[in-house]
């Protein structure tokens, strides 16, 4: 699966007549739809001058006058044989009237580096808005384009912790309770962010003290809250007693 699918909004754009567009700096604005509840996003190729050389980079922007957003972006330019030729992953802020760009190449590299397919340039893109700064100056999470797997849930939590949005942490905790497997590979992170509902369900599903101890070895105890520590210790001793009882009757 392409990395572009890790973003809520993704697709493939083909810029035909690449040579003409490169020479005249006339790449079209390719509409990519509504993202994060904000309309009229587009993808294009933007010209930049670096060390007296002309470069063209992928560029995403919206025509809407909207507040500042935090986003993740992914670009992958395909070679003429279909293989990935230039990849870029980034994260940053987009302010009204200013878009976000990826890595590019010089005009000569685009023309001679094997990037032209039927005279055009093909780019895979992925775009994800994580947070939006509202009119009161408070960061809110983008709930319009939710992608809820373990990786993105962790992104939710990091964003919420960095911007002091406690309701997002509570939401992740509630949803993770119904799908406890969502954090099985990220157990230390779930502990660190204090997902108490998830932790209670997770501990209940542990069958032996040895298994629980093995998982707890991966956790930084200094980052564990007192409440989480009590729950883990209580469950560990419960399992210890169960283990001893099982051994006695074998």
- What is the chain's pLDDT, residue by residue, as a tens digit (250 residues)? 567 777 778 899 999 999 999 999 999 999 998 888 888 899 999 999 888 889 999 999 887 766 688 888 899 999 999 998 889 888 777 776 678 888 899 999 999 999 999 999 999 999 888 778 777 777 777 767 765 444 456 666 776 667 666 666 666 666 665 555 555 556 677 777 777 777 888 888 888 888 888 888 777 777 777 888 888 888 888 888 886 665 434 4
Which residues have C-beta within 8 Å of that of residue 213, sequence separation ≥ 6? 236
Q: Which pLDDT score, from 0 to 100, does residue 72 have?
A: 84
Q: Which pLDDT score, from 0 to 100, does residue 172 have?
A: 65
All structural domains of the chain, each given as residue ranges with its CATH number in brackets, are: 3-133 (2.60.210.10), 148-249 (no CATH)
Structure tokens belonging to residue 208 = 């032996």
Which residues have C-beta within 8 Å of that of residue 118, sequence separation ≥ 6? 16
For 36, 176, 179, 198, 206, the CA distances from 153, given in Å and listed in that order, are 17, 9, 12, 13, 22
For 40, 136, 141, 160, the CA distances from 166, given in Å and listed in that order, are 31, 17, 11, 7
Structure tokens belonging to residue 184 = 């099985």
0.75 surpassed by pTM: no
């Amino acid at each position: 699966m392409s990395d572009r699918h890790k973003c809520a909004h993704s697709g493939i754009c083909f810029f035909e007549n690449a040579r003409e567009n490169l020479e005249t700096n006339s790449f079209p604005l390719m509409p990519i739809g509504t993202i994060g509840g904000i309309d009229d996003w587009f993808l294009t190729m933007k010209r930049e001058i670096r060390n007296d050389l002309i470069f063209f980079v992928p560029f995403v922007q919206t025509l809407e006058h909207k507040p500042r957003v935090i986003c993740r972006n992914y670009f992958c330019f395909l070679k003429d044989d279909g293989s990935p030729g230039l990849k870029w992953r980034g994260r940053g802020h987009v302010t009204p009237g200013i878009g976000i760009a990826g890595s590019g190449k010089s005009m000569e590299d685009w023309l001679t580096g094997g990037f032209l397919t039927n005279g055009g340039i093909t780019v895979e893109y992925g775009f994800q808005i994580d947070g939006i700064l509202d009119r009161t100056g408070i960061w809110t999470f983008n709930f319009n384009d939710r992608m809820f797997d373990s990786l993105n849930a962790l992104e939710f939590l990091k964003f919420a912790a960095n911007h002091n949005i406690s309701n997002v942490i509570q939401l992740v905790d509630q949803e993770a309770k119904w799908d406890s497997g969502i954090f099985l590979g990220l157990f230390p992170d779930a502990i660190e962010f204090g997902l108490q509902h998830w932790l209670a369900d997770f501990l209940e599903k542990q069958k032996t003290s040895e298994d629980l101890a093995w998982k707890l070895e991966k956790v930084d105890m200094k980052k564990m809250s007192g409440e989480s520590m009590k729950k883990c210790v209580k469950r560990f001793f419960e399992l210890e007693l169960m283990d001893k009882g099982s051994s006695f009757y074998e």
